[in-house]
Structures are given as structure tokens and as C-alpha cells.
Chains A and B, each alone.
Chain A
Amino acid sequence: MTTTTRIERHHYDVVVIGAGGAGLRAAIEARLAGKKTAIISKSLFGKAHTVMAEGGAAAAMGNVNSRDSWQVHFRDTMRGGKFLNNFRMAELHAKESPQRIWELETYGALFDRTKDGKISQRNFGGHEYPRLAHVGDRTGLELIRTLQQKIVSLQQEDKREFGSYDARIRVFSETTITELLLDGDRVAGAFGYYRESGEFILFEAPAVVLATGGVGRSYKVTSNSWEYTGDGHALALRAGATLINMEFLQFHPTGMVWPPSVKGILVTESVRGDGGVLKNSEGKRFMFDYVPDVFRKQYAETEEEADRWYTDPDNNRRPPELLPRDEVARAINSEVKAGRGSPAGGVFLDIASRRSADEIRRRLPSMYHQFKELADVDITAEPMEVGPTCHYVMGGVEVDPDSGAAFGHVRGLFAAGEVSGGMHGSNRLGGNSLSDLLVFGKRAGGHAASYADGLSARPKVAVDAVEAAVETALAPLQRDTGESPYTLQQDLQAVMGDLVGIIRREGELADALVRLAELRERVAKVSAAGGRRYNPGWHLALDLRNMLVVSECTAKAALERQESRGGHTREDYPAMEPKWRQVNLVCSLDGDSVRLTRKPLPKMRAELIGLFDRAELAKYLTDEELADFDASVADAGEADNR
């Protein structure tokens, strides 16, 4: 059978899987390093999920408040991630994001401006100063379009030099990768299919960058598009890499809950940054009741103070609506559970009674447009109904912070963006993902290029691995006895949504693992009707096994971590536990099953931990760590005195 299957073969230096912000930035970097680069896009070029990001890209440029600096940004990021972040990634991110944003302007991006003509920056939950470079509320679209157009401009250069647009960088649109191919422990290539024709395609390449985004399609209420099936997570696992922090999923606090067709679509945090407030069915502005002790100092205690903050942020504390996302999500969940929710099971987000219609339309144009067109709701006239939505996975491929190279026993594999783990710790701040894409996309692309340079011989693709990949890919089409992939996906979403959702319990998580094991049997026998040509049922059937293995990682890690932190809330362990802060849960694949191990977090360098108040650290660190901190402060003091 395999002898008759036609496979298109290509040779590249660097193959980038994923055409969102991280993938495109990585590809640009690899091409600028002179490498022949392929970009694999699951959708059409320029449609990636990055377009959905509304708020902005966080970078401490200090254009609006000159007191901002990378140190403050670093501190906010660590605080937001509840100190579970890989400190080195948070440091690199805070230091490099301003350059990455400025660079976009040289590619043609047009951000909104300040009065003196610089890039304007807006407030956002968890950021101490206005920090998010933005374009109205369509920043993600601007970012993807800018990178897309930069790639076109590189192709135009290549056309002038070599006579072909595709000479050094080529986009394979509507192409899905199903397997990474190895030569020993080295990446040798990637195998997949064109969605349009169903024809197979084989890339031989020594370096692969994963930039496939997240896993949200395993959840029923999600803001994520169909592409978010955890492909990169699963490819990495199967290639011998490891995943960390998979228990941490971010549920965006304010997704639309009405009407049903748009359930899950996000209402950007800037609605709250620009004056929107959350109210329960009794009309009470309830967020004041949910300010945790660790944040007490930075947030207003009265509505009057909170309202003054919008115009005078230097002399007032911020409104509690701008608490980090997990806090807001939990607060909404509590209100709904206490019976004070809206008719559709959310709460009300009200900006209509607080800002003039003109101002709302000007500051939140696409939000206004979206609600008007999708739901026939006028946000300038009535409050929105919102509730928590699966939005982002903090966990992902465990990588070297500087190069983005995957850990585990595989070489030549890199990861950037949502598919990588560590940068955001247990909770990502809004605005940090767009800058994350740029900073680590560039790094992964550059390091993939130099890795390819450093090889003395190209790894070889083994024929039998390709044959096995073909067989796996065709299997669902050749069976007609199995279940429909759509049914299986719905069942998987039900398990994850009901048992591994925003609030978790030990019994439910254990139950989830049993059900996932049952689903694994059923997914192994899935069948897809129809042929190979643009057949969405077949595509879903192939994605299912990725969704399944990633869901297992999440459920296992969630069961293991007996505390609540950031995007992981255990009803049976509601407190944050300093002991657990020292631990990353690492998933790897042992044959077919997911293996979970504990790994200590790297120790933060003294000059970085010195950026925090001791009082703040006391909330996160164990007593031994604090003693250590005191000793290092004393050492530094003595050194100064000498």
C-alpha cells in the first residue's frame, strides 16, 4: 500500500511549524540568518490565532509613564505567574520586548500614538504602568499582518536575487504536520499532509521550530480556534521532549456567555482598563470583596478611589477589576455559584453606564463592532454578559530559556510562543503573550539556524518511519467501524470541561483519567467518512490523538499538584503552598503512556530576587528560601560596607 502512496519531498535548513506570531518571527530570523526556511501553516497564511489577541503587546518602553523599566515588567510578570515562572525567560522577555516592538515599526506596523508621536501604551491587568503597545483593540491582527508582510518583503528580496519568491522562505499553507522524524536523538524532518488535496508531504530538515500554539479545543467553552489541538505539545512528546506546567490553563475571566453561538469569545480586558466594571445580578460591584491579601496594597478599597485612578493613577490605587485574570475568573465563578449570576450563567460587565457612547466607540471599536454584529448587543447602551472561558495554556514544551531548544532526549527541536512552557509560570499576564511570541520567536529561529550551521552531517530520515507515518495518517479513512471524530471530540470536551475545568477536585481528576483512558481506546479506532481531499472529518480524526495525550498530561499534573496557584485551582487545596513553588511537574512519554516527574525550579539570581520586597517574597517562598534570601542581602550589605 505504502509503495503506491505519492509523497512530495522537500529539503530545508529550518522548518517552522506554525504560522502565528512566534512561527513567523522565528522564520524571519532563520531566513535573515541565511537559512532555507519553510513555514507550515495549518490554515491560510495570515489567519493564525494570533489575530484574536486584542489588548496589546507588553513592553517596558516607558512612553506613557517614564518610570517603567524592564525591572518593573519582570517583577509584574513573576508576580502574575506566582513566582513559578522560569526567571530567566521572564528576564529576557522584559529586557528584549521593547526592541522587538520597535522592530515591528520598521516592518511597517502602525501602532496607536502618544501626543508626542511615540507608540501609545495602555493599562492592563497585572501591569504596574501603562505598558501595552496597541492598535485599537486589534493588536494581534496588526502583529500578524506586519510579520506576514515582512515575510513577503523578504520573498521580494529573494525574487530579485534568485528569481523566485520561494528561493529561501516558503509558506506551506493549509498543511498539517502529523509526525516529527528522528535520526537517533536528532530531528531529521517532519511528515504531514496538504489539507486541500490530502497528498502527503515530507520535509527533510535538521532543525524544527514548534510554534503551534495551545490546546483549547479540548474544552467546550473556549476562545480558541479549531487549530488549537495541542499538535506541537504532542509532536514534542512523541519526539522525546518534555512538557512542563501542563496543569496551568488560563481561563479568561470575561468571555461572552450570550448568545450561545459566540459563547467563549473574549471581551478584552481593556474594557475594564477603560472603565468597565463587573456587577452581579443584584447590581453590586463585587470585585472589592475578592482582593487577595498579596494584592491588597496595590488595589483601591473604595469605589471612589478606584474611579479616581482612571484619571489620576499616580495618587490612587487601581480598581480591583484590574486584578490578574485568575483572580477575576475565580471571583466571577464564586458569584455565579452563590446564585448572583446573570440569566445566561455569567455576570454583567458594564461600561455603558460609565463612559459616553462616543468614547466607547472610539476606544473599543472592534469590541463595539463585534457585539453589535454577532449578538446585536449595543455595548454603549447595555451591559454585557460575561464568564470564564478557556483561553491559554501556560504549560508547554520545556525549553532552554536562552535558545528555545527543547529539553528531554531530542536535539534540533525548538519551541516558541504558547507551545513552550515556563515563561508565564502559573498564570500569564494579559499582553505578555504577544511580546513573548516576538522575543522567543526570534530567539528560537536564530538558535535553530545556528544549530543547523553547527551540524557536520545532516540527519537522515528513515524510510520505515515515513511508512509508519503514512499508515497512521490513512488509518481513519480505511476503517468504517469506528466512531465519528466529532462525537469523540465532544466527549473529550465534556470530560475536560466538567472534570478538569476551572475549579478542580481530586475525585473528579481521578475520574477524568479513567475516562481519558477509555477515550484513548475509542480514538484509536476512530473512522472518518469520505476521501482525502479537504476532508475536515479526517483532519479532526488525526488531531484527536494529540488532544488526547495533551489532556492526559493536564489531568495528571492537575491531580498531582496539591495546591491552588494561578491557572490551577483545587477546591480541596485552596491555598498557595510555598513548597509547591519549588516544583515543576514534567510530563514525558513512556511508550504510549504519560509519565509525570517532579523537577526543582532553577534558583533565581541574587540581583533579580533583590528586586522584590522581603514582605512580598514572604508570601511565596519557604522559610529556608527566605533565610537564604536574608543571608544574600546581608552578604551584599557587608560587601558594600567593606
Chain B
Amino acid sequence: MSAKRQFRIWRGDETGGDLQDYMVEVNEGEVVLDVIHRLQATDAPDLACRWNCKAGKCGSCSMEINGKPRLGCMTRMSTFGDDETVTVTPLRTFPVIRDLVTDVSFNYEKARETPAFAPPADVAPGDYRMQQVDVERSQEFRKCIECFLCQNVCHVIRDHEENKQAFSGPRYFIRAAELDMHPLDSRTDRKEYAQAEQGLGFCNITKCCTEVCPEHIKITDNGIIPMKERVVDRRYDPLVWLGSKIFRRGETPQTSVTTARQGSATSSGATRGGLHSHAGGSHDQRAEAQAQAGVNWDREVPHPTAPAVDDRGRLPLTELTFDRAAAPSPFGDDVSFPLPPEHLNFAHPDQDDKH
């Protein structure tokens, strides 16, 4: 059961290159990496391609197959049509070294910048005690095989080379999340670090990283969103910010996602409606001043609401356990767009005439 199939493979180096056509034998049950190995043994002995385990465990053979970031060893030929041309190109986000091999040192630099596990000072080796349920959350992220496909698809760096300096990427957000959730890690600032040093704020939750993860790690839902939410909770919650401005009170309104105990939070949120603003997250003093100036102080201000929580009073961490499809909206699930104009922090030139 073998047939000749059409392959187009990018050949070249950092000075340039192009797609080259090959007709190559393909047997039943083979994967793309098998075909590349056959090409090396026949038409293209110097075709450069990384690989190691050929079992989806080491994450070496990352490439783009028909434009999709994939592991060559995990892409079965049977997933393509019989006369479909298979196009193989190197990862786009990283500089090409030769053919399908790219310079992924960016990732290793970011790995070195991420603070390591901090062992508890007073626990001797052999005395570590942790419950399975507590280690499982971190274990999900430790499944990562460092294929860097998530780094490759992340829009923040895929299309914006200039962001690489300030942005560590999904692989290192889940490293931070893993350490944050580690039951015995003695550092307490993992989230703040992710926000301040790793560029967590750049991530706009498009979930591309989760989609390409060959280990099916819920990078966005279980790693990035919890990190973002708790960072927001502590430092940047726009509700906290705006609430304190509006009510001119020193005290914090009941919006903290981890302390809210509102019975059926979902329904209460729906009846009260929400109030949301981007201005709260802005670091620009002038923009904040303008936003404040624009507030219509006479309008009826809805109460800040807490997001939906589960029985234990915690945010759902995965879509599986959540009661609705897709991830929670970063604006809150009780908000629909467009927002009613009276909820906007916008000073219309005519607004004073109306009131």
C-alpha cells in the first residue's frame, strides 16, 4: 500500500529560500516525519529537520504543515486527501537556520529569566507532603514537551517581532502558573511577576496556543486566565478602581472574585447589570483624568458585580466545569454589547444640555 505523493518543502537559510517540489513514496500508516526521513535517505540527504523520539514526547519536530503548526511525528498522512499536496515550512515566528530548523533560543532565554522553584526553607528532602488533588493542577502544565508551537502561534510575537523583548509567551505563562499553583513553592509573587516582567497583559486570550498544544494543555483556560484574574483581583480590577472613584470611599467594594459570596452570583449579576470600563486599566494619567471628567455623575450607577462562581465560591478554571460554552468573557458574562450609552465614561458635548 504505497503511492507517490506530492510534497512541497521549504529549503533555504536566513539569506532566503523557496518551496521545492518532491514526489515521494508514502506507505500506509505513516506520518509526515516518516516521509521527511525517506526524502533524506533518497532525494535530499542534507534536508535539515529536527527530531528525536518520533512519539510526540520530546517536542523536537515542530513545523508548519499546510500552514498549521504541528509536530511532524504526530501528523498522520491519512489525514490528507490522496491527491493533496503537503506543504511543509519552518516555524514562522523564529529565525530560520536551515530548511525546517529554526533558531528557538528565544524560548531558552525566556526560560532562564523565569524565577525557578523556591523550595520551602523548613522542609527536609523526603518530608515533602502534598495531596494528589493539589499537585494535579501544576502537573497539567508540567506535561509540556516544549515543542514551542504555542510560542509560534502567539499573535503577540508572531506578527510583532518587537514584542519579543517584553513578552515571554504562553509556554512561560504556564510555567509561572505551574509554580504559582505548586503547593510548596515559597515565592508568593508569581502572578505579579508574570504581569510585570513576563508581559502577561499583552495576551488577549485568542486561545491559539491552546488550540495547537499537542499535549492538550488548557493553556488559556487553566493557566493564563487564572493568572490574569488573580492579578486583576489584586491590582488592576477596573471595578475596584472605578468603584473607589465613583463612591469616593476608601473601602473596597465587594468585587473581589475570591471573596465574593453572593449565593447565586450568576443570577444576581444578571438582574443588576454590570458596569465596565477600559479606563480603569490604563496607566495613562491623562486618559484617566479625561475618563473621570467624562463621567455623568447623575446617571444611575449599577452596582459592581462579581463574576459567576461555582459551589466552592471559586472561579471555574476550565470550560468543562463551567456552566456555559466557551471561556468567560474578559468583560464579564453579564455584559452584552453594545453597552448602553449611559454606562459609558464618555462626556458627550451635549450631555449637560439634556440634564
Q: Do A and B assemble together? A: yes
Of the four ranges (under 10, 10 to 19, 20 to 34, 35 or more), the interface on chain A belongs to: 35 or more
Q: Output the least CB separation between B222 and chain A (Å).
A: 15
A374 within 8 A of B: yes
A149 to B176, CA, bound (A): 13
Pick out which of these stretches binds chain B: A199-207, A272-280, A281-289, A534-542: A534-542
B125 touches A152 (CB 8 A): no
Contacts of B117 in A (CB 8 A): 107-108, 149, 153
B116 touches A259 (CB 8 A): no
Asked whether any CB of chain A lies closer than 8 Å to the CB of B126, the reply is yes
State how many angstroms separate the Cβ of A477 from the closest Cβ of chain B: 10
* A113-B132 contact given A108-B117, A156-B116, CB 8 Å threshold: yes
Does B30 count as interface, using CB distance less than 8 angstroms?
A: yes
Given A261-B30, A531-B46, A537–B40 Cβ distance below 8 Å?
A: yes
Q: How far is the CB of A355 from chain B (nearest CB, A)?
A: 19
Contact of B41 among A107, A165, A486 (CB under 8 A): A486
Given contacts A107-B117, A153-B116, A537-B46, contact A196 B57 (CB under 8 A): no
The closest CB in chain A to the CB of B108 belongs to A45
Residues of A within 8 Å of B55, CB to CB, are 52, 262, 265, 370, 374
Residue among B53, B114, B216 facing the most chain A CB atoms (10 A cut-off): B53
**Is the beta-carbon distance between A51 and B108 smaller than 8 angstroms?**
no
Instruction: For the complex of A and B, list the 7 residue pairs with the smallest distance between their C-beta atoms, beginning with the closest.
Output: A259-B29, A530-B46, A108-B117, A153-B116, A117-B129, A537-B45, A486-B41
Flag if B116 contacts A225 (CB, 8 Å): no
State A102–B184 Cα separation when bound (angstroms): 14
A117 to B13, CA, bound (A): 52
A154 to chain B, nearest CB (A): 9
Q: Which of B97-105, B278-286, B299-307, B340-348 contacts A (4 or more CB under 8 A)?
A: B97-105
CA distance A490 to B37 in the complex (A): 12
Q: Which A residues are closer than 8 A to B by beta carbons?
A: 43-49, 51-52, 61, 98-99, 102-103, 105-108, 110-113, 116-120, 135-136, 138, 141-142, 145, 149-150, 152-153, 155-156, 165, 173, 196, 225-227, 258-262, 265, 366, 369-370, 373-376, 484-487, 490, 528-531, 533-538
Interface residues of B (CB under 8 A from A): 13, 27-31, 34, 40-41, 45-60, 73-74, 76, 78, 97-99, 101, 103-104, 108, 111-112, 114-117, 119, 125-126, 128-132, 135, 138-139, 142-146, 179, 182, 185, 214-216
28 intermolecular pairs with C-beta atoms under 8 Å apart: A43-B50, A47-B59, A49-B52, A51-B57, A52-B53, A105-B125, A105-B128, A107-B119, A110-B135, A113-B132, A116-B129, A119-B128, A138-B143, A145-B142, A173-B108, A225-B51, A260-B29, A261-B27, A261-B76, A370-B55, A370-B56, A373-B74, A374-B55, A375-B29, A486-B40, A529-B46, A536-B49, A537-B46
Q: Are A536 and B53 in contact (CB under 8 A)?
A: no
Report chain A residues within 8 Å CB of B45. Answer: 484-486, 528-530, 536-537
Bound together, the chains give a CA A265 to CA B143 distance in angstroms of 19
Give the nearest-CB partner of B48 in chain A: A534
**Given known contacts A46-B146, A261-B31, A117 and B130 CB-to-CB distance under 8 angstroms:** yes
A-B contact count (CB 8 A): 183
Interface centre among A173, A261, A373 (most CB of B within 10 A): A261
Given contacts A105-B128, A141-B145, contact A536 B46 (CB under 8 A): yes
Given contacts A110-B138, A119-B128, A260-B28, list 14 more A-B pairs with CB under 8 A: A47-B60, A51-B57, A52-B55, A110-B139, A116-B129, A138-B143, A225-B54, A225-B58, A261-B29, A261-B31, A366-B57, A366-B143, A536-B47, A537-B40
Q: Choose one: B48, B126, B215; the contact of A102 (CB below 8 Å).
A: B126
B111-A152 in contact (CB<8A): yes
Complex CA distance for A213 and B30, rounded to whole angstroms = 27
* In the complex, chain B residues whose CB is within 8 Å of the CB of A112: 132, 135
Q: Report the nearest B residue to A110, measured CB to CB.
A: B135
Name the residue of chain B whose CB is nearest to the CB of A174: B50
Provide the bound-state CA to CA distance between A102 and B99, in Å. Answer: 43
On chain B, the residues within 8 Å of A52 by CB distance are 53, 55, 57-58
Q: Distance (Å) between the CB of B178 and the closest chain A CB? A: 8
Q: Tell me which residues across on chain A come within 8 A of B182, comparing CB atoms.
A: 108, 110
Chain A residues whose C-beta falls within 8 Å of the C-beta of B60 in the assembled complex: 43-44, 47
Provide the residues of chain B in CB contact with A49, threshold 8 Å. 52-53
Residues of A within 8 A of B76 (CB): 261, 374, 376
Q: Which residues of A contact B73 (CB under 8 A)?
A: 374
Whole-angstrom distance between the Cβ of B46 and the nearest chain A Cβ: 3
- Tell which of B97, B108, B142, B214 touches A110, judged by Cβ atoms closer than 8 Å: B142
Nearest chain B residue, comparing its CB with the CB of A53? B57
A373-B57 contact, Cβ under 8 Å, with A152-B112, A156-B115: no
Residues of A within 8 A of B126 (CB): 61, 98-99, 102
**Shortest CB distance B41–A (Å):** 4
Q: For the complex formed, measure the closest distance between the CB of B103 and the CB atoms of chain A, giving whole angstroms.
A: 8
- Chain A residues in 8 Å Cβ range of B129: 116-118
B269 smallest CB distance to A (angstroms): 35
- Candidates A173, A226, A528; contact of B51 at CB < 8 Å: A226
Interface-centre pick from A48, A142, A226, A227 (highest chain B CB count, 10 A): A226
User: B54 touching A262 by the CB < 8 A rule?
Assistant: yes
Please tell me which one of the listed residues A46, A99, A534 contacts residue B125 in the complex, with CB atoms under 8 A apart: A99
